[in-house]
Amino acid sequence: MKNVNNLRTALAEAAFMTGIERNADVVTMASYAPLFAHVTDWQWTPDLIWFDNARSYATPNYYVQQLFSVNKGTEVVPLLYQGQPLTGQDSCWASACMDDSTHELIIKLVNPSGSAQQRTIELADAWMTGNVEVTVLSAADAGTVNSLDSPATIAPTVSQLSAKGKDLPIDLSPHSLTVVRVPLRNK
């Protein structure tokens, strides 16, 4: 099967979706199609969820869509790298938003390259406090796929970091989407 939803295609979508999020004042809605496909009877291959008569699996692209949908904020905030929005510089795409109901800064960072990267989140007008939730979708090989026999080869993993102050270093795995939820308090 050609044109399968592998990690490479998922990260391309994630990079595109950071642009949608950065331009939320103009882009009011986006959707994904097609959604479901039977493994023996399909028209095209970019479907998000594949199934047979007894099992199913989600593709890496499904997890990208899921991570963006459950980590949306109420207000887009600028996320800059050397004074510019992070739109591919050093092979990294990113967007950020505030969630007013949880008082969290939500940052999405996409590293499609085969090299690990480190970024430091520096806050201007607030302080980080408490545990930072870090969710990562990654694999060593960008061509990796999920399947009926291995449905969780690529799936998000969640970890916690302790944060205090204005700076937080974040390690970006090769071939990864990283979502960081930072609890904030005012100065």
| pLDDT tens track for 113-170 | 999 999 988 887 777 878 999 999 999 999 999 999 999 999 999 999 988 888 889 9
pLDDT of residue 187: 52
Q: Reduce the secondary structure of 109-166 to three states and give it as a string.
A: EEECCCCCEEEEEECCCEEEEEEEEEEEEECCCCCCCCCCCCCCCCCCEEEEEEEEEC
Strand bridging mode 49-51 / 56-58: antiparallel
pLDDT of residue 125: 74
Task: List the domains of the chain with CATH numbers.
Answer: 7-186 (2.60.40.1180)
pLDDT of residue 81: 86
pLDDT of residue 186: 64
pLDDT of residue 3: 67
pLDDT of residue 1: 54
Return the bridge partners of 127, or none. 185
**Model pTM?**
0.93
Residue-wise pLDDT for 30-84, tens only, equals 888 788 999 998 888 888 999 999 999 999 999 999 999 999 999 999 988 888 8
